[in-house]
Structure formats: structure tokens, C-alpha cells
């Protein structure tokens, strides 16, 4: 009974904290541009508003449209349950959960793309095609990063993998994971989360026909994914397991905040990359993770 309550409590924490991250990023962007910007809690208001609205569906959709969105959100929530959060540890942890984590992220992407295709709009089909073609490289990078961590610690459980620091390849791994974070969450050098122009959208295109509660689920899922990637990046680099619980919690919170500020700064200072350059940058991220893996494999001998 207490375990169920414990899991529920942590889940609630993940769900409630997630919409804060995009708010911080938007605040940083506004601050750099000299504007006042939307309040940090804006996404909470948006989600509440969307939840109260009705759903407008195209005549072409099947029940799979809503189901795909729901499954995608559930998959992201389950992935969040697997990810350890500093001293609190992961609500669910077992041997090999790193693999399940990757697969749940892939399932979420698959279902979002499926829901987009289900609207019958050619435009959204194009967005889905872009999303999955970038995902090939992004997923290769994140799997390689997990392999690097696994080689470093000799374990395939996220809790053990993320506890110590990443060792000699930490800088490589951090750079690679940061690039993956930007790509997976459709942040600026890869995609612009603000635009509604035809040629600049990847993720945005897929959710144009969503409305009401399904759109709220998509937006909340996206913020949850951003928080998960930040936590993953921070824990891969920080030796969270070797600090005292309070220091670790403070370090984790501070570093996630730093990552959010970093994303905001990148977004303010960089322009979006030309579309054909994106694969090159993602390949670079993959290679950074690959070399981090190489360092943790050969590091002991050199």
C-alpha cells in the first residue's frame, strides 16, 4: 500500500513540475530579448484552459487519433517512472530498464506520428515524416549515450548507470546529450517551437489538428519529455549518487534549472539551422556520444 502511494506521489511530482520547464525557457528568452514575457506558470493556465474546451475532430479520423495521443502520453509518463530523480531514486527500477526507457520514448513518438497521420492531412503526414526521419539519428545518439554509461558502470539499470559521474568522457557525453535534448524536444537549432510557418515545423505540424484535452495531453507530454531529458543529461554528468541526499537534490534542481536557462540562451542566440544541415549536427551528436562510449571502453587502458 505504501509503495503504491509512494509511486503515486512521485508520479504526481513529475507531472506537476514538468510544465515549469518551458515556462522558465520562455522567461529566459523574454529576458534576453528585453521583453517582460509570459508568466512562468503560463503552460499550467494553457493546460487548464485546453482541458475545459471541447474537441473538434476532422471527419477523416478514426478512434486511433485520440487513442494514439493517449498512448503517447501514457508512454512518456511510464518513462518518467523509470528515470531516477537524484536521491529519491526511481519509482520503478529493475535490471534492463534503460532499454525499456528507450523503447517507451520510441513508442510515444510512434503514437504521436500515427495520430498525426490519422487526421488524413497531407501537411501533418509531412511533419510526421520529418519527425521520424530525424528520430533515426536522435535515437542512435541516445542509445549510444546509454551504452557509454553502461560501459562506464557495467550495469543496464538506469539507477546504477546514472549514479556516478560519467568519467573521462563526461564533456563529450554532455555535449552529445544536450544536442539530442534540443533535437528531441524540437528546440531551436533543429526546429522552432514558436513558429507556425510551413517550412520550419517538425513537431508542431503533427499536432495542428489536435484540440482540447488531446492537445493538452500533447503539450504536457512534450514538457514532461523536456524535463526527463534535462534530468537524464544532468544525472549522466553529475555524481548524484555520491553526494548526500540534500546536496544531491539541490544540485539536481539547480542543474536542471541551468539546463533550462541554457536552452533558453541557445534559443535566443542561435538561428534555426538550414533544413539540410540538421542531419550533420545530429550525426555530430551521435559521434560525440560514440566517442564518449569509446572513452569509457578504452579509458581504463590508456
Partner 1 sequence: MTGGLNLLIALAMGLNLVALASSRLPSVIRAAATQGMVLGLLPLLLEQEFHWMVGLVSVGTVVVKGFVIPHLLRRALRAANIDREMEPLLGFIPSLLLGAGATIGAVALGGALPLRPEHANSLLVPGAFATVVCGFLLLMGRAKAISQVCGYLILENGIFLFGLLLIRTTPLIVEAGILLDLTVAVFVIGIIVDRIQREFDTLDTRKLTSLKE
Q: Is 298 in the site for partner 1 (CB under 8 A)?
A: yes
Distance from C-alpha of 183 to C-alpha of 173, rounded to nearest angstrom: 15
Q: Is 291 in the site for partner 1 (CB under 8 A)?
A: yes
Choose, by CB under 8 A, the member of 85, 290, 292, 296 that binds partner 1: 290
Q: How far is the CB of 287 from partner 1 (least distance, A)?
A: 5
Candidate ranges 76-84, 101-109, 251-259, 290-298; the one touching partner 1 (CB under 8 A): 290-298
Is the separation of the CB atoms in 107 and 225 below 8 Å?
A: no
Distance from C-alpha of 246 to C-alpha of 84, rounded to nearest angstrom: 15
Going 164 to 227 to 297 to 95, the CA torsion angle's sign is: positive
Distance from C-alpha of 51 to C-alpha of 270, rounded to nearest angstrom: 34
Interaction mask 7-36, partner 1, x per CB under 8 A = ------------------------------
Q: Is 284 in the site for partner 1 (CB under 8 A)?
A: yes
Which residues have C-beta within 8 Å of that of residue 71, sequence separation ≥ 6? Answer: 107, 108, 111
Q: Is 301 in the site for partner 1 (CB under 8 A)?
A: yes
Q: Is 292 in the site for partner 1 (CB under 8 A)?
A: no
Going 105 to 110 to 115 to 120, the CA torsion angle's sign is: positive
First and final C-alpha spacing in the chain: 50
> How far, CA to CA in Å, does 12 sit from each of 6, 8, 80, 186, 219?
10, 6, 11, 25, 17
Candidate ranges 26-34, 177-185, 254-262, 293-301; the one touching partner 1 (CB under 8 A): 293-301
Q: Is 145 in the site for partner 1 (CB under 8 A)?
A: no
Candidate ranges 19-27, 122-130, 192-200, 282-290; the one touching partner 1 (CB under 8 A): 282-290
Q: How far is the CB of 284 from partner 1 (least distance, A)?
A: 6
Interaction mask 178-207, partner 1, x per CB under 8 A = ------------------------------
Residues at the interface with partner 1 (CB under 8 A): 279-280, 283-284, 287, 290-291, 294, 298, 301-302
Amino acid at each position: 500500500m505504501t509503495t503504491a502511494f509512494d509511486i503515486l506521489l512521485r508520479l504526481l511530482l513529475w507531472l506537476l513540475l514538468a510544465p515549469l520547464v518551458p515556462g522558465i525557457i520562455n522567461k529566459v528568452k523574454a529576458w534576453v530579448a528585453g521583453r517582460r514575457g509570459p508568466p512562468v506558470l503560463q503552460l499550467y493556465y494553457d493546460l487548464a484552459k485546453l482541458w475545459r474546451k471541447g474537441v473538434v475532430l476532422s471527419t477523416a479520423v478514426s478512434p486511433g487519433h485520440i487513442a494514439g495521443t493517449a498512448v503517447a502520453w501514457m508512454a512518456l509518463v511510464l518513462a518518467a517512472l523509470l528515470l531516477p530523480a537524484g536521491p529519491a531514486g526511481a519509482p520503478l527500477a529493475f535490471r534492463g530498464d534503460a532499454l525499456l526507457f528507450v523503447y517507451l520514448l520510441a513508442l510515444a513518438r510512434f503514437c504521436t506520428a500515427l495520430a498525426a497521420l490519422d487526421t488524413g492531412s497531407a501537411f501533418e503526414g509531412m511533419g510526421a515524416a520529418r519527425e521520424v526521419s530525424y528520430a533515426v539519428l536522435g535515437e542512435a545518439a541516445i542509445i549510444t549515450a546509454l551504452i557509454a554509461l553502461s560501459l562506464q558502470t557495467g550495469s543496464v539499470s538506469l539507477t546504477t548507470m546514472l549514479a556516478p559521474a560519467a568519467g573521462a568522457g563526461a564533456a563529450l557525453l554532455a555535449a552529445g546529450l544536450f544536442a539530442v535534448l534540443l533535437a528531441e524536444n524540437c528546440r531551436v537549432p533543429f526546429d522552432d517551437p514558436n513558429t507556425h510557418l510551413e517550412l520550419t515545423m517538425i513537431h508542431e505540424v503533427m499536432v495542428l489538428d489536435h484540440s482540447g484535452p488531446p492537445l493538452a495531453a500533447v503539450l504536457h507530454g512534450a514538457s514532461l519529455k523536456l524535463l526527463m531529458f534535462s534530468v537524464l543529461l544532468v544525472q549522466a554528468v553529475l555524481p548524484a549518487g555520491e553526494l548526500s541526499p540534500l546536496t544531491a537534490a539541490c544540485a539536481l534542481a539547480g542543474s536542471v534549472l541551468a539546463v533550462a536557462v541554457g536552452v533558453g540562451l541557445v534559443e535566443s542566440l542561435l538561428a534555426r539551422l538550414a533544413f539540410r544541415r540538421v542531419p550533420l549536427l545530429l550525426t555530430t551528436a551521435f559521434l560525440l556520444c560514440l566517442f564518449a562510449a569509446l572513452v569509457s571502453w578504452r579509458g581504463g587502458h590508456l
